[in-house]
A and B are shown apart, each in its own frame.
Chain A
Amino acid sequence: MDAMTAPLPVINVEPEDEVRLIGLTPLGDPDAAACDGDFCAIPAHHTQVVVNRRLDDDAV
């Protein structure tokens, strides 16, 4: 087995039950867009989402 065919190293991370920062003071918008796991959410309040919704509603 060479480096090309060797399996990728896997980093095991235990699932987290809840979002809780340890030793850090949270700042900024807690609902800002982020990727969590393999899913990248779009916050409902995001400016572009608002624009798109208004476009969908023919409001722009």
Chain B
Amino acid sequence: MSNPIKVDIWSDVQCPWCYIGKRKFEAGAAAAGIPVEVEYHSFELAPDTPVDYEGTPVQYLSERKGFPLEQAKAMIDRVKGIASAVGLDYDYDHIHQTNTVISHELIHFAKSKGRQLEMKERLLKAYFLDGEHVGRIPDLIDIAVELGFDRDEVTEALESHRFLPDVKADMAQAREYGINGVPFFVFEGKYGVSGAQEAETFANVLTQVQSERDV
């Protein structure tokens, strides 16, 4: 078997297309039958969002972009429909819009333990499916402990912001690449793919990257 193709993915925890794109990428990789090595990178879409934003995602979208509430709701309903098509039941009635910087720190903490992928999936699920809060340190600690991490160790890591430099480094790398939106996929450090592509597209990209590597 050939060496896996390295795929670096920039993504935010409260990015609906990131979770949808994750599922489509996973389906594409499975269809292509090409082994991949995935590494997630932090990307904060809205770093000025307060941790305890009191409104709903519909209100947030309406306030931030000036859309009428009905239009914002219709947009979110469409995203829910698309998510449903890939098996994700987004629960926008219970989503806690928040600031995600500390959840990114937690993902880096998990990465330091070799369990980044598990944490990434858990946090996306927490935010979009389970109505959990992914901005508060106590809530994030509980999620980490549920996954089997040591409470004292993860508490120290998050309260000290020990992994914030790693989050900043990911953002700096994104900027060097010219990445403005997520999800964003970088294959073998050479090819850039933006957005939640169809699974077939991901499979084709992997096949192309594999074939060019084999030349």
Contacts and interface: CB of A to CB of B under 8 A. Distances in A.
B26 interface: no
Interface string B55-96: 000000100110000000001001101100100000000000
Contacts of A33: 17, 20-21, 82, 195-196
Given A34-B196, A38-B49, A39-B64, A29 B191 contact: no
Interface size bracket, A side:
35 or more
Nearest to B67: A39
Nearest to A43: B195
A8 B65 contact: no
Interface in B9-52: 12, 15-18, 20-21, 44-49, 51
Given A24-B177, A29-B201, A35-B16, 15 more contacts: A22-B178, A24-B192, A26-B192, A27-B191, A28-B194, A28-B201, A29-B198, A35-B182, A36-B181, A37-B180, A38-B45, A39-B61, A40-B15, A52-B78, A52-B81
Interface of A: 3-4, 8-11, 13-14, 16, 19-40, 42, 46-49, 52
20 contacts: A3-B159, A9-B164, A10-B47, A13-B171, A16-B180, A19-B178, A19-B181, A24-B177, A26-B193, A26-B194, A27-B193, A32-B201, A33-B196, A35-B16, A35-B182, A37-B46, A40-B16, A40-B17, A40-B79, A52-B78
